[in-house]
């Protein structure tokens, strides 16, 4: 059934093996005109974009697949889409350095009777490797149009769109001799061999390979995967990524902080003197609105740079090497190298990280990876660390923040160990992973994802966070007549109910209880709501926190924030990805328990030691 996008006559799915330049092509076709939605009737993310030069053409970025019949969740998404859209014209991108594997997918598409247009990505790597391909032979053997492109230099892009829309209007089914798969299941080993024999005959006639002069990937691998240097370099890269994400953002954060304070002052004066607005309106707009939202928004530079760093590690090809290096250790805790990628991405945001677990095709390993991800300290928790560490540990802020990330990692490892003991696995699953060639990431590969993530963050600040801080402000003013943010307010009542539970871990203030409660919606709100609740009587958030916390209780609070629960969006995505609503509830349950116990240990040990 193709009942979507009736107004748009042409919808072109883009398909390809992983790491063949699919996203680069998609980005250069659609630029920033992309949106991420859900598949109709399904709960899986769908990436769609409008062609820059003609809004009548839309592209869908299907997840990378080695095989239509593959076992990973990503491959299943691709399979299901194609199964339901057999009349579509598919744009398949093939990496010239991996022609055979690309053609394997082409044959599977043709077997399904799908119209294919091939974009042959003849990139720098192919030229470096001295590969020359006669695309006319591929075209005539498979009876499909083939266009040579270079998505980085943007050559052949117009032609591929023209070809694909042309093929779209034709109704001819592909016609080639596929006798090797007659009367057999598509997953039969003999069919797989049949495909490879066919491909062999095409490759032998269409590809010439010149003597390779230099292979940069091999040269770089020799250093980065070196027996002795490999591990230290890996640790150094991780450390560097961490430092860059924080240090580079600092001046921008300070500038934003300054700017927001100035804006807040100007707005306040304008409202009070020029408009003669009543004090409570001014309080709502300035204290709640601007105070709450700006306390979150100033961390935008951190978030942008963090995602930039993530995208850099991923698109250069280093993240796959990191997974390769880590496989041995991951195996010890019942996981595999591929699990390392979602866990690292979790430092950016748990939501895409949990989606990245789709490449793990063993269901148990995938579930365990998903369940561990919330322990990875995402960027939304960062505002809390920066605020509190900046106040109480300004001498060694970096070390303190790093220690929190480490606590998250250590607890995740302990958790995996326990799970391994509880859910005994018969044997390790197969771990097969491609190590893609190193690439110098294009501007679009880095900035576009970071831009989209930052946009989401700003949007969140302007919608969910703004409305929640206003709700908080409102509840803090009820019942009528009560002093703003007094304990007698409705909010104070709710907070006071839970505060005793937090007493033994060092922060029994009702306002903290409230901020943590609302923090479940989005962790940025913790700082946002503190900004709203504490910004009374002309005192700054910093001065009140300094008075209300000790260094020890601040650290305990950071540990609790790190561990206490995945946010609502993460819980939702866990439900979607596992197709089981019990899993997110279980995750929330043990996260709260672990957070409380960890903070209890930190706080009580600290008290005992006289800190």
Partner 1 sequence: MGELFKLSELAKGSKGKIERIEGTIDFQRKIMEMGFIKGTEITLVRKAPLGDPLQVQLEGHSIAIRKKDSRNIFVKKD
Which residues in this chain contact partner 1 in the complex, by CB under 8 A?
A: 66-67, 69-71, 97-101, 104, 129, 131, 187, 189, 192-193, 196, 217, 221, 225-228, 230-231, 234, 323-325, 327-329, 331, 337, 428, 430-437
Q: Which of 295, 300, 520 lies closest to 388, judged by CA?
A: 295
CB 5 within 8 A of CB 24: no
Query: The tokens 């995602």 sit on which residue?
Result: 307
Report the candidate in 7, 55, 15, 13 with the shortest Cα–Cα distance to residue 33: 55
Nearest-approach distance from CB 600 to partner 1, in angstroms? 36
Nearest of 92, 79, 96 to residue 22 by alpha carbon: 92
3-state secondary structure of 178: coil
Q: How far apart are CA 172 and CA 368, in angstroms?
A: 46
Please give the Cα distance from 477 to 484 (Å, whole number).
Answer: 5
Q: Dmax of the chain from CA atoms? A: 86
Provide the minimum distance between the beta carbon of 231 and partner 1 in the complex, in angstroms, as a whole number: 5
> Cα(606)–Cα(600) distance, rounded to whole angstroms?
10
320/241 Cα distance (integer angstroms): 16
CB-nearer residue toward partner 1: 77 or 103? 103
Identity of the residue, 26 or 324, whose beta carbon is nearer to partner 1 in the bound complex: 324
Burial of residue 7 (number of CB atoms within 10 Å: 0-12, 13-18, 19+)? exposed
Shortest Å distance, C-beta 227 to partner 1: 6
The nearer residue to partner 1, 234 or 549, going by C-beta atoms, is 234
Q: Choose between 224 and 389: whose C-beta lies nearer to partner 1.
A: 224
Q: Which is nearer to partner 1, 18 or 506 (CB)?
A: 18
Tokens of residue 112, six digits: 């399904």
Measure the CA–CA gap between 412 and 406, rounded to whole angstroms.
Answer: 10
Nearest to 121 by CA among 157, 91, 96, 153: 96
Considering the complex, state which of residue 324 and residue 375 has its C-beta at the smaller distance from partner 1.
Answer: 324
Smallest distance, partner 1 to C-beta of residue 322, A = 11
Q: Indicate the residue among 112 and 435 with the shorter CB distance to partner 1.
A: 435
Distances (CA, A) of 91 to 33, 74, 175, 444: 19, 18, 17, 21
Whole-number minimum distance, CB 222 to partner 1, in Å? 8
Q: Which is closer to partner 1, CB of 158 or CB of 200?
A: 200
Buried b (16+ CB within 10 A) or exposed e, 104-130: bbbbbbbbbebbbbbbbbbbebbebbe
Question: Look-up: residue for tokens 């390993």?
Answer: 365
Angle among Cα 358, 359, 362 to the nearest 5 degrees reads 85
Separation in Å, CA 208 to CA 120, 195, 575: 15, 21, 49
Supply the minimum distance, in Å, between the C-beta of residue 428 and partner 1. Answer: 7
Residue 200 or 265 having the CB closest to partner 1: 200
The least distance separating partner 1 from the CB of residue 217, rounded to whole angstroms, comes to 7
Closest CB to partner 1 among residues 200, 580: 200
Q: Please, what sign has the CA dihedral across residues 547, 552, 556, 562?
A: positive
Residue 57: CA count within 13 A, CB half-sphere: 22
Site of tokens 């709100």: 525
What is the smallest separation between the CB atom of 192 and partner 1, expressed in angstroms? 5
Minimum distance between the CB of residue 189 and partner 1, rounded to whole angstroms?
Answer: 6
Nearer to partner 1 by Cβ, of 327 and 365: the residue is 327
Give the residue with the Cβ less far from partner 1, 227 or 421.
Answer: 227
Contact 243, 398 (CB under 8 A): yes
- Shortest Å, Cβ 27 to partner 1: 23
- By beta-carbon proximity to partner 1, the closer residue of 188 and 265 is 188
Number of Cα atoms under 13 Å in the Cβ half of residue 309: 26
* Least distance from partner 1 to the Cβ atom of residue 9, Å: 35
Give the nearest distance from C-beta 13 to partner 1 in angstroms. 20
- Show Cβ contacts of residue 257 under 8 Å, excluding neighbours closer than 6 positions: 298
Task: Report the nearest approach of partner 1 to the CB of residue 588 (Å).
Answer: 34
Residues 6+ apart with CB under 8 A from 322: 234, 237, 238, 313, 340, 341, 344
Provide the CB-side half-sphere exposure for 396 (13 A, CA): 7
């Amino acid at each position: 059934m193709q009942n979507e996008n009736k107004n748009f006559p042409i919808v072109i799915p883009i398909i390809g093996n992983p790491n063949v330049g699919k996203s680069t092509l998609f980005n250069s076709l659609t630029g920033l005109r992309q949106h991420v939605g859900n598949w109709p009737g399904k709960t899986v993310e769908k990436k769609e974009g409008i062609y820059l030069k003609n809004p009548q053409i839309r592209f869908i970025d299907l997840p990378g697949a080695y095989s239509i019949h593959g076992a990973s969740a990503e491959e299943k998404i691709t399979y299901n889409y194609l199964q339901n859209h057999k009349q579509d014209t598919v744009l398949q991108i093939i990496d010239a350095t991996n022609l055979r594997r690309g053609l394997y997918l082409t044959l599977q598409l043709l077997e399904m009777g799908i119209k294919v247009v091939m974009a042959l990505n003849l990139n720098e790597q192919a030229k470096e490797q001295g590969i020359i391909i006669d695309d006319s032979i591929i075209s005539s053997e498979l009876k499909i149009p083939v266009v040579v492109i270079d998505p980085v230099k943007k050559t052949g892009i117009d032609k591929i769109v023209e070809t694909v829309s042309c093929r779209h209007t034709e109704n001819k089914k592909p016609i080639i001799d596929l006798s090797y798969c007659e009367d057999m299941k598509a997953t039969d080993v003999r069919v797989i061999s049949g495909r490879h024999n066919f491909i062999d005959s095409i490759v032998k006639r269409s590809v010439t390979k010149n003597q390779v002069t230099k292979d940069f990937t091999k040269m770089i691998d020799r250093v980065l995967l070196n027996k002795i240097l490999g591990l230290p370099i890996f640790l150094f890269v991780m450390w560097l990524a961490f430092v860059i994400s924080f240090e580079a953002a600092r001046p921008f954060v300070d500038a934003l902080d300054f700017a927001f304070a100035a804006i807040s002052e100007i707005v306040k004066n304008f409202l009070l003197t020029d408009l003669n607005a009543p004090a409570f309106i001014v309080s709502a707009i300035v204290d709640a609105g601007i105070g709450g939202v700006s306390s979150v928004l100033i961390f935008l530079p951190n978030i942008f740079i963090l995602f930039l760093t993530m995208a850099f590690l991923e698109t250069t090809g280093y993240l796959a090497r990191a997974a390769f290096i880590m496989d041995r250790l991951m195996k010890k805790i019942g996981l595999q190298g591929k699990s390392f990628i979602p866990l690292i991405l979790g430092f950016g945001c748990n939501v895409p990280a949990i989606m990245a677990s789709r490449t793990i095709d063993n269901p148990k390993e995938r579930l365990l990876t998903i369940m561990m991800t919330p322990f990875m300290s995402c960027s939304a928790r960062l505002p809390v660390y920066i605020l509190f560490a900046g106040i109480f540990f300004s001498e060694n802020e970096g070390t303190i923040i790093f220690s929190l990330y480490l606590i998250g990692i250590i607890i995740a490892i302990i958790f995996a160990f326990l799970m391994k003991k509880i859910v005994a696995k018969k044997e390790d699953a197969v771990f097969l992973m491609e190590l893609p060639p190193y690439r110098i990431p294009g501007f679009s590969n880095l900035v576009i994802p970071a831009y989209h993530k930052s946009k989401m963050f700003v949007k969140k600040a302007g919608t969910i966070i703004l409305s929640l801080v206003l709700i908080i402000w409102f509840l803090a003013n009820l019942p009528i007549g009560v002093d703003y943010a007094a304990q007698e307010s409705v909010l104070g009542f709710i907070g006071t109910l839970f505060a005793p539970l937090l007493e033994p871990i060092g922060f029994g203030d009702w306002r903290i209880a409230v901020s943590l409660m609302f923090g479940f919606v989005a962790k940025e709100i913790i700082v946002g709501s503190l900004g709203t609740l504490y910004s009374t009587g002309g005192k700054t958030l910093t001065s009140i926190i300094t008075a209300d916390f000790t260094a020890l209780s601040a650290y305990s609070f950071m540990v609790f924030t790190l561990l206490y629960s995945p946010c609502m969006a993460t819980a939702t995505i866990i439900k979607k990805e596992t197709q089981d609503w019990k899993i997110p509830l279980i995750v929330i349950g043990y996260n709260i328990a672990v957070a409380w116990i960890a903070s209890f240990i930190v706080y009580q040990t600290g008290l005992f030691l006289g800190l």
